[in-house]
Amino acid sequence: MTATPRSTLWTDVDFDRDGKQVDWLYLHHSVTRSAYGEIMIPITVIRNGGGRTVLLMAGNHGDEYEGQIALVKLIRELEPEDIKGRVIILPAANLPAAVAGVRVSPLDGGNLNRSFPGDPAGNPTQRIAHYISSVLFPLCDGFHDLHSGGASLQYLPFASMRQSGDADLDRRSLAALTAFAPPIAIVWAYAGAGTYAASAANERKVPNLGGEFGSAGMVDRAGVALVEAGIRRFLAHFGILPKQAAKAAETPTRLMEIKGRHYYVYAPDHGVFEPAVDLGQDVSSGQLAGHVHFIDNPARPPVPCHFKASGMLICRRAMGRVERGDCVFHLATDVHT
């Protein structure tokens, strides 16, 4: 059996020590202005005796802010005496992207959520992914990766899970999703790229959630509140917080799924996209989704695009300008149990 290569990130954190440690992961980055430089990625570990461990992560993409805000607030608020077990918090996992307010790292163009399970000898983004996969996931009984639409997408807020093909693991992730109790819960019912944080967590058999809690590179107050309340219910589900510390959700959860690429609509050409439908609307297969207009060539007729499936619009593009292949909409459909 081949041993897992050792991570090149390091930290002064003692994961087995009781108390609250607000510290750093050190990622070596030698450049002209700093030959022996380290990128210092914030990490907090709060531990109180034995019990389960949960990893909470935001800043996987740097322009997604609701989770980042909710987690730094949680770091300030949560104390060891409040919990039983251990909470590990990464509020800005891809720190270079988070500081720059962009989706991918300005150091290497790396998209952290397309870099798992990572590479200890790779670029900075790959090394961050490898540390999370090889060091943090083996400690965990649960994981939540908090996302938003970033600069280019507008979402209806939801929490989600990605199916693994392992019935027991999927059952445990669905139980955690139910406990989070969002207004909309999404099951990603297809494999996707296989390089997501969720994919690596599934490989480690760690029940895990994702979610999209904001839109268009802004900070949504309702999205922050949803994350704050849902995280406490998530921690209570794992026995880390007492049940009374988690406020019950005020609305029932609508369980939905995304079955495949046919749920997506992509821009057929470069131009300006005019949508024909609105976020939250129910649409039918074959229905007009919108037109791409050619502002630099007014005599050219616009190019239409259509839906390939029926369902509710859960996501739309936030920007008017499009290039061929940009996602302009995607759907979700109700799960009928």
Q: What is the mean pLDDT of residues 299-314?
A: 98
Q: Is there a single domain that holds both residue 75 and residue 197?
A: yes
With 90 as the cut, is the pLDDT of residue 193 above it? no
How does residue 1 score in pLDDT terms, banded at 50, 70 and 90? very low
pLDDT digits over 43-67, tens only?
999 999 999 999 999 999 999 999 9
Strands (E) across 122-192 are located at 142-145, 153-155, 158-162, 184-188
Q: Is there a single domain that holds both residue 288 and residue 232?
A: no
Q: How many separate domains does the chain show?
A: 2
pLDDT higher at 191 or 300: 300
pLDDT digits over 204-224, tens only?
999 999 999 998 899 999 999
pLDDT digits over 143-153, tens only?
999 999 999 99
Domain ends where: 228, 258, 288?
258
Q: What is the mean pLDDT of residues 182-210?
A: 94
Q: What are phi and psi of 261, to 5 degrees?
A: -65, -20
Distance CA 197, CA 162 (A): 10
CA triplet 25, 87, 68: central angle to 5 degrees?
Answer: 65
Q: What is the pLDDT of residue 25?
A: 98
Q: Is there a single domain that holds both residue 289 and residue 168?
A: no
Q: What are phi and psi of 49, to 5 degrees?
A: 65, -165
Q: What is the pLDDT of residue 4?
A: 62
CATH number at residue 125: 3.40.630.10
DSSP β-bridge partners for residue 313: 331
CATH number at residue 294: 2.40.50.100
With 60 as the cut, is the pLDDT of residue 75 above it? yes
Mean pLDDT estimate for the chain: 96
pLDDT digits over 239-266, tens only?
999 999 899 999 999 999 999 999 999 9
- What residues make up the domain containing 17? 10-258
Instruction: Say what the alpha-carbon torsion angle 73, 76, 82, 87 is, to the nearest 10 degrees.
Output: 70
b/e code 120-147 from CB counts within 10 Å (16+ = b)? bebbbbbbbbbbbbbbbbebbbbbbbbb
Q: Is there a single domain that holds both residue 134 and residue 79?
A: yes
Counting residues of the chain whose pLDDT is more than 70, the rounded percentage is 99
How does residue 127 score in pLDDT terms, banded at 50, 70 and 90? very high
Task: Say which range, 22-36, 119-133, 184-198, 249-263, has the weakest mean pLDDT.
Answer: 184-198
Distance CA 121, CA 134 (A): 13
| Within-domain flag for 114 | yes
Three-class DSSP labels, 267-300: CCCCEEEEECCCCCCEECCCCEEEEEECCCCCCC
Q: Is there a single domain that holds both residue 200 and residue 289?
A: no
Domain ends where: 258, 290, 317?
258
Q: Is there a single domain that holds both residue 269 and residue 197?
A: no
With 50 as the cut, is the pLDDT of residue 179 above it? yes
With 60 as the cut, is the pLDDT of residue 2 above it? no
Q: Is there a single domain that holds both residue 70 and residue 150?
A: yes
| Within-domain flag for 2 | no
Distance CA 90, CA 43 (A): 5
| Within-domain flag for 1 | no
With 90 as the cut, is the pLDDT of residue 314 above it? yes
Q: What is the pLDDT of residue 275?
A: 98
Q: What is the pLDDT of residue 337?
A: 66
Q: What is the mean pLDDT of residues 64-74?
A: 98
| Within-domain flag for 3 | no
With 90 as the cut, is the pLDDT of residue 141 above it? yes
Q: What is the pLDDT of residue 3?
A: 55
Q: What is the pLDDT of residue 36?
A: 94
Task: Say which range, 123-127, 241-245, 273-277, has the weakest mean pLDDT.
Answer: 241-245
Q: What is the mean pLDDT of residues 223-229?
A: 97
